[in-house]
Amino acid sequence: MQEKSSSYKLLFSLPVIVAALGYFVDIYDLLLFSIVRVPSLRSLGIPESQLLDKGVLLINSQMAGMLIGGIFWGILGDKKGRLSVLFGSIVLYSLANIANGFVTNINQYVILRFVAGIGLAGELGAGITLVAEILPKEIRGYGTTIVASIGVLGAVLAYFIADIYDWRIAYFIGGGLGLLLLVLRFNVFESSVFSAVKKSKTVRGDFFMLFTSKKRFFKYLRCIMIGLPIWFVIGILITFSPEFAKAIGVVEPVKAGKAVMFAYIGLSMGDMSSGLLSQFLRSRRKVVFSFIIMTAGATAFYLLQPSGGSAFFYGTCWLLGFAIGYWALFVTIAAEQFGTNLRATVATTVPNFVRGSVNVFTPLFLMLAHDHGVLGSAGMVGSLAIVVALLAVWKMEETFAKELDYTE
């Protein structure tokens, strides 16, 4: 009993707390653009007719940076250590977001969102990997759930800061929070599992190893595929919520920032629920499958909802957020699927490839919208993402309580 109590105390150890706070700041900075998209572009003189197209350009630029950053930080995390990523990524995205507050034209904005994207790519994967490796296998699901549940609430803070202050000040605050958190990280210790592998001659952080084995490649591909519905919802349905509200017939104006806030409150509650349910059922796959089905239902409800008021619309945004609340499980599964010498590479690249899928979803969404409208287009793209995710989880290995002290 005493040993079990001691294990649970590890859930509140400094690495878990710092990883959760780091992801909190990461989400604040990541989602801030979605919240200030319209006011910031208007401030830069972008006409109303171009707000959607320029918004897509900026989001795609940020996500392209995250794709590149995901590979860079993932490899670095396996070669040099998880802490090297936690330090380097937070410095880069904090400084980039401060610089975002000084932009004077769209070209500067595009470049700095790209740089910020590179920095933001490293935070979650390194944090989840570190937490998964330092906690006993029976409770690591609780640890990663804490990280994700607290982290996604950064979007709520971003909404309130952007609502109170000018968009430039909101960027300054996000960058400042990151630099403050950097001080706490000096007391975080490295994973003993990684330290042991580092002393050996095992090849670490070889990204191409994921493609040299058919079994390893498809395992990696499935990890990416199960997360696609999450970023379809965030990157399209929530980010462009004002456009969807108009198409549905909502008379009152809908703010993207408020939609993001409600969606991320739901996401935090969903992450907590899915994590606890996973521990109770002792299964990752069953819970992820259930939440993907829930996402399908919530997406259909969002697109087919009656043209009520804005309050009802924000309620559906919360529902969508709760349904995609398997983000923590999704990244945890990725970390558990691979050995210590590739774990950070996988856990960092997988969520960023999922985020980067917006570079595929948005052009497809805009192309189909010309003939089918935004509602019909979103329905088709969303259906594709959900079917692919269901096929992936169907073939996925169960990793609950899997020993992580092994190499590929």
Predicted confidence (pLDDT) per residue in 215-243, tens digit: 999 999 999 999 999 999 998 999 889 98
Rounded CA-CA distance 225/357 in Å is 10
Q: What CATH number does the domain containing 168 carry?
A: 1.20.1250.20
Residue at 124 is within a domain: yes
Residue at 341 is within a domain: yes
Mean pLDDT of 299-309: 91
Confidence of residue 3 (pLDDT cuts 50, 70, 90): very low
Residue at 315 is within a domain: yes
Residue at 200 is within a domain: no
H helix intervals, 10-81 = 14-43, 51-79
Total count of domains within the chain: 1
Q: Is the backbone of residue 81 left (phi > 0), alpha (psi -120 to 50) or beta? A: left
pLDDT tens profile 348-389: 999 989 988 887 888 899 899 988 999 999 999 999 999 999
199, pLDDT greater than 90: no
Percent above pLDDT 70 for the chain: 98
**In the prediction, which pLDDT does 50 show?**
87
3-state SS, one letter per residue, for 62-130? HHHHHHHHHHHHHHHHHHCCHHHHHHHHHHHHHHHHHHHCCCCCHHHHHHHHHHHHHHHCCHHHHHHHH
pLDDT tens profile 318-337: 999 999 999 989 999 999 99
What's this model's pTM, rounded to 2 decimal places?
0.86
Task: Give the range of the structural domain holding residue 263, as residue numbers without chain letter.
Answer: 8-187+206-394
pLDDT tens profile 51-87: 878 888 888 888 889 889 999 999 999 999 888 898 8
Residue at 372 is within a domain: yes
**In the prediction, which pLDDT does 368 show?**
92
Q: Of 389, 280, 275, 273, whose CA–CA distance to 332 is shortest?
A: 275
End-to-end Cα, the chain, rounded Å: 35
The residue type of 287 is V
Rounded CA-CA distance 369/210 in Å is 36
Residue at 173 is within a domain: yes
**DSSP SS3 for 196:** helix
Rounded CA-CA distance 21/127 in Å is 10
**In the prediction, which pLDDT does 280 show?**
92
Q: Of 395, 74, 407, 400, whose CA–CA distance to 219 is shortest?
A: 395
Percent above pLDDT 90 for the chain: 55
Confidence of residue 2 (pLDDT cuts 50, 70, 90): very low
**In the prediction, which pLDDT does 7 show?**
64
Residue at 201 is within a domain: no
Q: Is the backbone of residue 199 left (phi > 0), alpha (psi -120 to 50) or beta? A: alpha
Tokens 């950070």 locate to 344
Residue at 192 is within a domain: no
**In the prediction, which pLDDT does 256 show?**
82
- Average pLDDT value for the chain: 90
Confidence of residue 1 (pLDDT cuts 50, 70, 90): very low
pLDDT tens profile 5-24: 556 777 888 888 888 998 89
Q: Which residues contact 247 (CB under 8 A, 6 or more apart)?
A: 373, 374, 375
pLDDT tens profile 84-142: 898 899 999 999 999 999 999 999 999 999 999 999 999 888 888 999 898 888 888 88
**In the prediction, which pLDDT does 94 show?**
93
Confidence of residue 338 (pLDDT cuts 50, 70, 90): very high
Mean pLDDT of 147-164: 88
